[in-house]
């Protein structure tokens, strides 16, 4: 998946799930579209996305 974070090693990216939620799809609709996912997968995708947005990357400084 090009280095993108995926759910439980399944070929569904966090971005796909977050995008569906952002577009207004319910968890039930997402689970119908991706029957191999579980409710917890959706929660974990949102949790990861929230964490990643808050993460701060600092440049490395040569000593």
The average pLDDT across 9-30 equals 96
Average pLDDT over residues 8-23: 94
In a domain? residue 38: yes
Is residue 62 situated within a structural domain?
no
Say yes or no to pLDDT of 55 above 70.
yes
Q: What is the pLDDT of residue 16?
A: 96
State residue 62's pLDDT score. 81
Which has more pLDDT, 54 or 31? 31
Within a domain: 63: no
> What residue numbers bound the domain in which 34 lies?
14-53
Q: How many residues does the chain have?
A: 63
Structural domain contains residue 31: yes
Query: Is 1 contained in some domain?
Result: no
Instruction: Tell me how many domains the chain contains.
Output: 1
Domain membership of residue 58 (yes or no) is: no
Q: Is residue 32 part of a domain?
A: yes
pLDDT score for 19:
97
**Summary mean pLDDT of the chain:** 91
């Amino acid at each position: 998946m090009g280095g993108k974070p995926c759910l439980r090693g399944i070929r569904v990216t966090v971005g796909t799930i977050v995008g569906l939620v952002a577009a207004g799809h319910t968890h039930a609709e997402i689970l119908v579209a991706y029957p191999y996912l579980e409710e917890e997968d959706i929660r974990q995708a949102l949790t990861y996305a929230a964490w990643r947005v808050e993460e701060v990357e600092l440049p490395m400084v040569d000593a």
